[in-house]
């Protein structure tokens, strides 16, 4: 069940345009280059992985210092607060310009994933991992981050290629629903579930 949840969250991140595939498509269309699109996606996934890995490292570092219950309660509060902030915020982070180098693209992906709480979404899974040994928790957490990012990358690649080849960016203005708002509701929901499970 835990692995399924991790894969589903990765798939959801891959579908969400805010996590990078839309940026990759725009870069590919701008230069009329499918190769540029395909080069962008692994770099975006790398930035996403770095953001999630930062959360894993934080959970691993505190696992031996706080009880799982306290960490779960804290995680739930953070998730609910971040989700509500995301729902109520009028402004979202934007990067100026589309002509970025690959390292800049990785940094953009890291920032976007962090701003959107990509790693926070995995807190309910991470806080249920055994904390008996720091190294085991860290390696298990990194495995979770890797599986999650792989699911995100594969999904984003499929979506980006389909949009690039068949739809183009213009269709998104008419047909795409607000995944950003759905994402915020999902954060709040995950936080509530985490809090109920901890209490």
> Band of the pLDDT at 159, cuts 50, 70, 90?
very high
- Write the burial class of residue 147 (CB in 10 Å: 0-12 exposed, 13-18 middle, 19+ buried): middle
Query: How many independent structural domains does the chain possess?
Result: 1
- How many Cα neighbours within 13 Å face the side chain of 119? 24
pLDDT digits (tens, 9 = 90+) for 41-94: 999 999 999 988 888 887 777 654 454 556 567 767 777 787 787 777 655 544
| Residue 99, domain extent | 2-198
pLDDT digits (tens, 9 = 90+) for 5-47: 889 889 988 998 778 888 888 888 877 788 989 999 999 999 9
């Amino acid at each position: 069940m835990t692995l399924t949840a991790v894969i589903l969250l990765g798939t959801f991140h891959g579908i969400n345009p805010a996590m990078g595939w839309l940026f990759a498509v725009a870069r590919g269309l701008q230069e009329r280059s499918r190769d540029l699109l395909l080069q962008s996606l692994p770099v975006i996934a790398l930035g996403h992985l770095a953001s999630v890995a930062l959360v894993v490292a934080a959970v691993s570092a505190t696992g031996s210092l706080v009880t799982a219950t306290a960490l779960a309660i804290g995680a739930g509060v953070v998730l609910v607060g971040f989700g509500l902030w995301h729902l109520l915020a009028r402004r979202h982070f934007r990067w100026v310009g589309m002509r970025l180098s690959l390292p800049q693209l990785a940094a953009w992906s890291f920032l976007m994933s962090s701003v959107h709480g990509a790693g926070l979404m995995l807190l309910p899974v991470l806080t249920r991992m055994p904390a008996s040994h720091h190294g085991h928790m860290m390696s298990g957490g990194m495995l979770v981050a890797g599986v999650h990012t792989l699911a995100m990358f594969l999904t984003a690649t499929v979506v980006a290629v389909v949009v690039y080849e068949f739809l183009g960016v213009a269709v998104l203005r008419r047909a795409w629903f607000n995944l950003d708002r759905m994402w915020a509701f999902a954060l709040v929901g995950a936080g509530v579930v985490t809090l109920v499970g901890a209490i």
